[in-house]
Amino acid sequence: MTEHQSILVGVDGSAESLHAMEWAAAYARETGCTLHLVSSFMLPGFTGSYSFAHDIPMVDDPYARRYVEDLLVRAHKRVVEVGVPATTEVTTGEATSVLAERSAGRRFVVIGARGAGGFVERLLGTVSANLPVRAQCPTVVVPLHAKDADGDGDATDTRRTRRIVVGVDGSRPSEAAVETAVAQAQAWGAEVAVVRAVTMVGWSHSPWLDTGFRESVMSSARDETDRLRARLATTYPDVVTTTDVVEGHAVDVLVAASQEADLLVVGSRGRGGIRGLVLGSTSQAVLRRSRCPVLVPRR
């Protein structure tokens, strides 16, 4: 099996990373992919007592390695029991670098995140915000919410993907996001909901809004998404596609859409509300607040 049929999964033993692994296992069983489970650790450094200018990293330790090996054994058992082939790897190093280096040629790299606030921080460290920038394949960030955290069920017991939402803004990266969403719809047998956010914030007192400017902007956005839907219907007749134009900030609109979605696809960069989605505050907000897994295509 080639690497592009392999899914890289960051595992650190936390409920967040195990839930992400379950999502990856469900996808693998649906599509015939394999999993490669990776756990990385890097012990704190120490400062020399004399004239050392920097901390000296303690890059390995038999006790830490044994702990990580044990958690990977348990994770591996969990996925192979449901018929998903998997390999494991224990290594040392900073988590984002480890996963980015191993992501070349993969179908996805999958990581977990807390669904109610800050990003998961365990042995693998905080990677959700930085990995999509550096990964050499698409990144999937899977949030964990209270309803997901009971620990029951098998490794593919997560909800199957039936509805995929993709955010668009007319930019080239968002077009790539649409293609990614369609490919995922074909893999899962899902429908695609195209969502366009139109931000009017800061314009509420502008005089031209009284002359129909607002409706003109909304109408233009609807026409654009209608053309996109027609093109997708012609090119991908097997994929059911809907479109929606919503007034509001991109983050709020996409997070609201994620409430009824099984997967949210966003472009890595764009214009307007989606600009800097990976690098800036919009990225942080979407990845923190999404109620479903978020897929970021490779930049």
99 plus 170 within the same structural domain: no
pLDDT of 41 > 90? The answer is no
- Residues counted in the chain: 299
76 plus 173 within the same structural domain: no
Domain presence at residue 123: yes
108 plus 227 within the same structural domain: no
178 plus 134 within the same structural domain: no
Of 168, 176, 171, nearest to 197 (Cα)? 168
39 plus 66 within the same structural domain: yes
Q: How far apart (Å, rounded) are the C-alpha atoms in residues 127 and 135?
A: 11
* CATH code of the domain containing 181: 3.40.50.620
189 plus 109 within the same structural domain: no
168 plus 133 within the same structural domain: no
Q: How far apart (Å, rounded) are the C-alpha atoms in residues 179 and 201?
A: 29
Q: How far apart (Å, rounded) are the C-alpha atoms in residues 293 and 244?
A: 20
Q: How many domains does the chain have?
A: 2
pLDDT of 151 > 90? The answer is no
Kindly report, residue by residue over 42-86, the tens digit of the pLDDT.
Answer: 765 444 333 334 444 445 577 778 888 999 999 999 999 999 999
Q: What is the largest CA-CA distance in the chain?
A: 73
Q: Give the pLDDT confidence score for residue 1 in this predicted structure.
A: 45
10-15 mean pLDDT: 88
Domain presence at residue 214: yes
Q: Give the pLDDT confidence score for residue 46 in this predicted structure.
A: 44
Token pair listed for 195: 């969502």
Q: Give the pLDDT confidence score for residue 209 in this predicted structure.
A: 60
120 plus 224 within the same structural domain: no
Say which residues have a Cβ less than 8 Å from residue 227's Cβ, sequence separation at least 6: none
190 plus 269 within the same structural domain: yes
Among 117, 148, 179, the domain boundary falls at 148
Are 6 and 35 in contact, with CB atoms under 8 Å apart?
yes
Domain presence at residue 158: no
Domain presence at residue 130: yes
Domain presence at residue 156: no
128 plus 219 within the same structural domain: no
Domain presence at residue 154: no
292 plus 199 within the same structural domain: yes
Domain presence at residue 110: yes
10 plus 142 within the same structural domain: yes
Q: Give the pLDDT confidence score for residue 202 in this predicted structure.
A: 60
pLDDT of 265 > 50? The answer is yes
pLDDT of 135 > 70? The answer is yes
- Strands, sheet with 263-265, edge to edge from the N-terminal-most edge strand: 86-92, 34-41, 6-10, 108-114, 139-144, 294-296, 263-265, 163-168, 191-198, 241-247
Kindly report, residue by residue over 272-292, the tens digit of the pLDDT.
Answer: 444 444 444 555 677 778 999
- Mean pLDDT of all residues in the chain? 80
Domain presence at residue 104: yes
The residue segments making up the domain with residue 143 are 3-47+56-148
